[in-house]
Amino acid sequence: MAKGKYQRWLEPDGLLLLEGWARDGLTDEQIAHNMGITAKTLYVWKNEYSDICEALKRGKEVVDYQVENALLNKALGGDTTAQIFWLKNRRPDKWRDKPETVGEKKPGDGAVESMTLADKMAAIREAARNIDH
Buried (b) or exposed (e) across 95-112, using 16+ Cβ within 10 A? beeeeeeeeeeeeeeeee
pLDDT tens-digit series, residues 83-130: 999 999 999 888 888 755 555 555 555 555 667 777 777 777 777 777
User: Considering the chain, what is the average pLDDT of its residues?
Assistant: 85
Global pTM value: 0.59
pLDDT tens-digit series, residues 5-21: 899 999 999 999 999 99
Is the pLDDT confidence value at 3 over 70? no
Q: Are 107 and 115 in contact (CB under 8 A)?
A: no
